Amino acid sequence: MKLLGLTGGIGMGKSMAARFLRERGAQVVDADELAHQLVEPGQPAWAEIQTVFGRNVVPPGGQLRRDQLAQIVFADPAARKKLEAILHPRIQERWLAQIETWRREDRPLAVAVIPLLFETKTESRFDKTVCVACSAAHQRKRLLERGWTPEQIEQRIAAQWPMEQKIARADFVVWTDGSLEAHAQQIERIIALG
């Protein structure tokens, strides 16, 4: 089985790249989707987040208030480290388990979408790494279209490695400033190089 690690900055097109990979037969596991599952009421991570960050962020029996938690962790690097310590090991455990299932099923291509792939030092687990990137202007435009404030955008960008650093570490780069067709063609070339 060929195993790709897919990463990139926020708003740069990772989800679209994952969609194109799925459409071309790849098995895809997404760290962000796993994180959402882990913070559902009753999950151990949900309870731990409530203990660490309080009932304002996680009311008893209620859903995680993501906006409030984001305000805390993106304004305070120490708080972000606490949240990462709760979530990252659990997320990694889940995507590794999924990949092992696909390996046993002899799937030809599997992809793990991990926004903090290089930051969490997990790139060595993959045959190849792919960084999805775009210009800073396109990134900001996309995030503003999602309804984010300039301050929210800056905080989230600051929480990740600079794109130049990710691009330099990746085996492949998918540039997403162009059309969706160009994006898909780049994915096809990466699959063909298999």
Q: What is the pLDDT of residue 193?
A: 85
Domain that holds residue 154: 2-193
- How many folded domains does the chain comprise? 1
Cα radius of gyration (the chain)? 17
H or E segment and range at residue 29: strand 27-30
**Listed residue (71, 93, 95) closest to 83, CA to CA:** 71
DSSP structure string for 163-181: HHHHHHH-SEEEE-SS-HH
CATH code for position 138: 3.40.50.300
pLDDT at residue 159 in the model: 87
Tokens of 137: 């202007």
Q: What is the pLDDT of residues 71-80, one digit of tens each?
A: 999 999 999 9
Whether residue 40 has pLDDT greater than 80: yes
Q: What is the pLDDT of residues 15-38, one digit of tens each?
A: 999 999 999 999 999 999 999 999
Q: Residue 194: its pLDDT value, please? A: 63
> Which residues lie closer than 8 Å to 123 by C-beta, 6 or more apart?
5, 117, 129, 169
